[in-house]
Amino acid sequence: MFTNIKISAFLSTLLLSLTLGAFPVISSAASGYGGPYNFGTPASAADIALIDIDAMPDGRGLPSGSGNYQTGKSVYTANCMGCHGVDLAGVKGTGAAALIGGRGSLASGKPIKTVESYWPYASTVFDYVKRAMPFYAPGSLSDDEVYAVVAYVLGEANIFDKSAILNAKSLPMIDMPNKDGFISDPRPDVFNYE
Amino acid sequence: MDGNSLNNNYDQKTRTLIQGMVEAEEKAIASRKKQATPEEECECRDGMFPNGKNPPIASRRQFLAATASGAAALAVGSAASAAIPAGSIDYPVQDDPSKVQGRLTNDDGGYGSRSQFETESRWRFPTATKESSWTMTPLDSGNGIVTPSALHFERHHGGIPNINPDKHELIVHGMVNGARKYTMEDLKRFPSVSRFHFIECSGNGLTEWREPTLKTVQGTHGLTSTTEWTGVPLSTILREVGVQEGAAWILAEGADAAVMTRSVPIDKAWDDAMLVYAQNGEAIRPEQGYPLRLLLPGFEGNTHIKWLRRLEISDKPFMTREETSKYTDLLDSGKARQFSLMMEAKSVITFPSGEMKLPKPGFYEISGLAWTGEGRIKRVEVSVDGGVSWQLAELQTPILPKCHTRFRFPWRWDGQPTILQSRCQDETGYVQPTIKQLVEARGLGGGKYGSIYHLNGIQSWAVAADGGVSNVHQY
């Protein structure tokens, strides 16, 4: 849209310049700011696919593949349990967060923020595990393994059916317990204006 | 300059000088070219440094230069060498420097270091892992408004990647007319801008909600730093790729082990966002995102994505982990504020501040910093009686938008215990609140440290009768 305006502006300048003679064209081309500069090169679909790993709440970006609770349990045991623990509560001293529990605790004065209690979208779990977990081998899980381990964690959290298949179709359908827990920023919220 | 004009316009001494500089520059260029090729690797590398790690090329050159010139063995300050401060070199100290020649010019390999007598340094907040952690800027010893690059606070989510700039690319795609990829060379060809801006972590002061916790201003406020940043306005790149109708958000993604991601409103991208590659006149430091960082002036620090590799334009926010489970503000109601990106007006007295001691009653120049993500600081007031009365502080120019502003206030201490405070107002009229007002508005969120993020309340420093300064809460 913007480019089109730029192009049409450029064309009309060019036409005007042609009617006035060649000099204005040369001078405007030889100095001054204004794009397009056309630096860089087109990014191909293959270029983008290599690093375009994000997944959105509506399911955009989710890859093909699938997993379930059972396979996820072995993925978890092999890759996650060392830090997140057998009980998914996080092993002290590792920095790993608790993944389940805390549901209903957010307004209690002693909130426990976990995937189960706080995270509003299942897509965020998939996205984060795929991009940044396991902590010391980020990006090492296959898409199937990511689906599986997410199915395991959400199964343990009693959010996703332990016998169901998690894939690009079923994941965006999941309602996380805290999906309505977020509000937009109302600041400034203290008014000492003078 | 050709040989003729050199001969015609300068005396012999000047010609020799200029010729020498030309040759030195040529040598530097040749050395730079040589360094760019892999054959320069030297076998003597291992064992040369006591910590056993491969030293960066610069420090290896320093060592070689020092050895070649026959100077006393030099050690480059590092975490492994506790004898001298990090970033300094252990040069011999003369008893009377006016009676002997000083050290040789450019013998440091061509990149300077600070005095071995200066010890200020960042320290790390003791998080569980050193990969996901942060360090604080020593504001107590800072002067002026600029933070030295080596002292800029850090927040890492997956360690500090070491990136070869020749292999780094930025891909811009999504709701654009033509997706493009840019090398660092490509980005540096665009028209550039340099601007002074602060970056503040939204967690700055997170320990101070409930009660005074940390002792120094480095601990309570050290997650803010100001830098002269240079780079390309993001709007330039958006015009190049052609943003489509309906675009509202941009996902920014880093190339670190966290593959750190945040969604940014596209209005900010059109407004004053920058893709920066330089910090205080040289390439940005690895800890700050080398070779490329997104800069969002006035927004919370974690959105300024470091090691930037990808920008995806979209109609909706991506709801990444960092903007849902992490950098959100849980209220007492159980609801959490999301996309609370703006860093509101804040000030702090850096001298005198916690753990300092005033030697005796008399004159002291109170000094501090004020900043706001909303634009310029309009005024700063100082109270030397615990908030009973307030007086205008002097603002040191330049007073730049979304940048630290230095303030000063002349004070005669009568030796009685008292409390020092500062409060600022920005150009929107907003006045820095008390911590109490913030707690009343937001609650404490029930966490260990309360609400955690976005504490911009008034800081209080108590001065005791013996001159000792400590962190207190005073409303």
Task: Give the CATH number, domain containing residue A87.
Answer: 1.10.760.10
Q: Do A109 and A72 fall within a single domain? A: yes
Residues in chain A: 194
Q: Are residues A84 and A151 in the same domain?
A: yes
- A185, B339: Cβ pair inside 8 Å? yes
Interior angle at CA B256, CA B373 and CA B288, nearest 5: 40
Strand partners, B377: B426
Show the low-confidence residues of chain B (pLDDT under 50).
Answer: 1-8, 37-75, 79-81
Q: Which of B265, B253, B266 is nearest to A1 (CA)?
A: B266
For residue B319, the chain A residues in CB contact (below 8 A) are: 56-57, 120-121, 123-124
Task: Please tell me whether residues A79 and A11 are part of one structural domain.
Answer: no
Question: Which residue range is the domain that position A57 belongs to?
Answer: 52-173
Specify if B120 maps to a domain: no
The rounded distance, in Å, linking the Cα atoms of A8 and B296 is: 31
Average pLDDT, chain A: 89
Assign A49 to helix, strand or coil. helix
**Of B317, B337, B357, which one is at a domain's C-terminal end?**
B337
B316/A75 Cα distance (integer angstroms)? 32
Q: Is residue A182 part of a domain?
A: no
Tell me if chain B has a CB within 8 Å of the CB of A25: no
Query: Is residue A56 domain-shared with residue A109, that is, in the same domain?
Result: yes
User: Can you name the residues that pair with A4 across neighbouring β-strands?
Assistant: none
Chosen domain end from B288, B310, B337: B337
Task: Mark whether A139 and A81 lie in a shared domain.
Answer: yes
- Domain-located, residue B283: yes
Question: A182–B129: do the CB atoms touch at under 8 Å?
Answer: no
Task: Provide the residue range defining the domain that includes B428.
Answer: 346-472
CB neighbourhood size of B374 (10 A)? 19
Q: Is A147 on the interface with B (CB under 8 A)?
A: no
Give yes or no: residues A87 and A120 share one domain.
Answer: yes
**What is the identity of the amino acid at A77?**
T
Residue B262 counted as domain residue: yes
Please, what's the b/e burial string for B386-407 (b: 16 or more CB within 10 A of its CB; e: otherwise)?
bbeeeeebebeeebbbbbbbbb
Compute the half-sphere exposure of residue A150: CA atoms within 13 Å on the CB side of its CA. Answer: 32
Distance of CA B296 to the CA centre of its chain: 14
Please tell me whether residues B51 and B29 are part of one structural domain.
no
Burial of A180 (0-12, 13-18, 19+ CB in 10 A): exposed
B314 within a domain of the structure (yes/no): yes
Q: What is the pLDDT of residue B25?
A: 77
pTM of the model: 0.86
Q: What is the mean pLDDT of residues A136-148?
A: 98
- Domains of chain A: total: 2
| Residue B209 shares a structural domain with residue B287 | yes
Closest CA in chain A for residue B317: A56
- Whether residue B324 and residue A53 make contact (CB cut-off 8 A), yes or no, is no
| B55 and B27 housed in the same domain | no
Q: Which helix (H) or strand (E) holds B381?
A: strand B377-383
Give the integer Cα–Cα distance in Å for A50 and A54: 11
Q: Residue B363 contacts by C-beta under 8 Å, 6 or more apart in sequence? A: B410, B411, B412, B413
Of B296, B311, B337, the residue at which a domain comes to its end is B337
Answer yes or no: do B199 and B332 share one domain: yes
* Together in a domain, B390 and B299: no
Asked if the C-beta of A21 comes within 8 angstroms of chain B's C-beta atoms, the answer is: no
In chain A, what residues touch B231 (CB-CB under 8 Å)?
none
Task: Please report whether residue B9 resides in a domain.
Answer: yes
Give just the sign of the alpha carbon dihedral B217, B327, B150, B396.
Answer: negative
User: How far is the alpha carbon of A39 from chain B, nearest alpha carbon, in Å?
Assistant: 6
Whether residue A122 is contained in a domain is answered as: yes
* Residue B293, pLDDT score: 98
Pair B96, B199 in one domain: no
Interface test with B, best of A39, A58, A121, A180 (most B CBs within 10 A): A39
For B200, B265, B273, B374, the CA distances from B341, given in Å and listed in that order, are 11, 10, 13, 11
C-alpha of B379 from chain center: 24
Answer yes or no: are the C-beta atoms of B229 and B279 closer than 8 Å: yes
pLDDT of the residue at B401:
98
In this predicted structure, the answer to whether residue A20 has a pLDDT above a threshold of 80 is no
Please tell me the distance from the alpha carbon of residue B208 to that of residue B434, in angstroms, as a whole number. 12
On whether residue B118 sits in a domain, the answer given is no
A89 with A150, same domain: the answer is: yes
- Where helices occur in B242-390 by DSSP H, the ranges are 266-271, 321
A111 CA: distance to closest CA in chain B (Å): 6
B177: nearest Cα among B102, B98, B239, B230: B239
Whether B217 and B324 share a structural domain = yes
* B180 strand-pairing partners: A42, B172
Instruction: Please tell me whether residues B152 and B272 are part of one structural domain.
Output: yes
- Domain contains A57: yes
> Measured in Å, how far apart are chain B's first and last C-alpha atoms?
67
Query: Would you say residue B106 lies in a domain?
Result: yes
* B376 plus B315 within the same structural domain: no
B322 and B352 housed in the same domain: no
A96 with A9, same domain: the answer is no
Pick the residue of B172, B324, B343 with the most A CBs within 10 A to test the interface with A by mutation: B324
Is residue B171 within 8 A of residue B309, CB to CB? The reply is yes
CB contacts < 8 A, A to B, total: 190
Residues listed for chain B = 475
A21 and A88 assigned to the same domain: no
* Same domain for B278 and B251: yes
- φ, ψ of residue B296 in degrees (nearest 5): -120, 85
> Using CB atoms and an 8 Å cut-off, which of residues 34-63 of chain A contact chain B?
35-43, 47-48, 51-54, 56-58
Indicate which of A128, A171, A179 best probes the interface with B, i.e. most B CBs within 10 Å of its own CB.
A128
Question: Is A64 found in the same domain as A32?
Answer: no
Question: Helices A143-156 and A122-132: crossing angle, nearest 10°?
Answer: 130
Q: Considering CB atoms only, which of B316, B344, B445 is closest to A188?
A: B344
Q: Is residue A17 part of a domain?
A: yes
B320: domain CATH number? 3.90.420.10
B334 phi and psi angles, rounded to 5 deg: 95, -15
Q: What residues of B are in contact with residue A53 (Cβ under 8 Å)?
A: 259
* CA gap B83, B212 in Å, rounded: 33
Whole-angstrom distance, CA of residue A149 vs CA of residue A77: 10
Looking at residue B117, its pLDDT comes to: 95
Q: Is A23 on the interface with B (CB under 8 A)?
A: no
Judge whether A93 is closer than 8 Å to chain B, CB to CB: yes
Alpha-carbon span A28 to A18, nearest angstrom: 12
The domain tally of chain B equals 4
Q: Is residue A151 part of a domain?
A: yes
State the average pLDDT over residues A141-148.
Answer: 98
* Spatial distance between the Cα atoms of B472 and B354, rounded to a whole number of angstroms: 9
Instruction: Render pLDDT for A28-39 as a digit per residue (tens, 0 to 9).
Output: 556 789 889 999
Give a yes or no: residue A26 inside a domain.
Answer: yes
| CA distance to partner chain B, nearest, from residue A191 (Å) | 7
Considering the domain architecture, whether residues B264 and B373 belong to the same structural domain is answered as no
Find out whether A123 and A171 touch, Cβ atoms under 8 Å.
yes
Q: Which residue of B has its CA nearest to A107?
A: B334
Q: Is B124 a domain residue? A: no
Statement to judge: residues A88 and A165 lie in one domain: yes
ipTM of the complex model? 0.86
At B183 the pLDDT is 98
On whether both A3 and A70 belong to a single domain, the answer is no
Cα separations in angstroms, B10 against B17, B21, B327, B332, B475: 10, 15, 63, 76, 69
pLDDT for residue B125: 86
